[in-house]
Amino acid sequence: MKDKDRTDYIDGMTFHASGSFSVYPEHSPGDRYFKTSSDMAHVVYHNAHENPDFPPADPRRGKGMNFCKWIASEQPDKAEHFSFNGNLNGILESFLEPGASVGWHRHDATEEYYYVLEGSLYAECQDPSGRKFEKILNPGDLHRVSSGMSHYAKAGSGGARFLAIIVKAEK
């Protein structure tokens, strides 16, 4: 991601704290079926999912910048009512800067999928029984986290661009 591409991003804390930013503004009835990139929210997270339980140097704490384009959202604070079946929680195109990480966090009501598009991404997860799994992911690889699992991810030396697809977990 080039520096010139970073100027139109809203800070993550501001984005989620305010009702004034829309994930996707609907202009006409036909917009329910099409979206342009310029109409999607561009949000930057500093130390994404920061977890203070880990020391600052530990990548599980979350560090660096994560640039996200909100493709679709049904999250309570930013629901756009775009999903046809109601199971979608969000779709984001995400770019983690080189060495940046999404901090260790747990999924209680959602499942999440990271599909790597560019670069490399180290992912570690823990299932409800405490077993840990880890893998370095490259373009075309997928990382899945089910409800009840915890995980974190760290970008490689060239950064990582991936789709994050979040769905509501079955109850």
Q: Each residue of 125-150: pLDDT tens digit?
A: 999 999 999 999 999 999 999 999 99
Token look-up 């991601």 returns 1
Q: Which domains does the chain possess? A: 3-168 (2.60.120.10)
pLDDT of residue 3: 47
pLDDT of residue 65: 96
Q: How far is residue 108's CA from residue 89's CA, in Å, rounded to a whole number? A: 13
The residues, ordered by sequence, that sit 6+ positions from 6 with a Cβ below 8 Å of its Cβ are 44, 67
Q: Could you count the other beta carbons within 10 Å of the beta carbon of residue 132?
A: 10
Quick one: which of 20, 77, 23, 11 has its CA closest to 47? 11
pLDDT of residue 167: 95
Which pair of structure tokens corresponds to residue 97?
A: 């800067």
User: What is the per-residue pLDDT for 132?
Assistant: 98
What residues contact 145, with CB distance under 8 A and at least 6 apart?
A: 107, 111, 112, 113, 125, 151
* pLDDT confidence of residue 35: 79
Residue stretches of the chain with pLDDT short of 50: 3-4
Nearest 5°: phi and psi at 31?
-70, -10
Residue 84: predicted pLDDT: 72
The reported pLDDT for the residue numbered 8 is 82
CA distance 44 to 12: 5
Helical spans, DSSP H, in the chain: 12-17
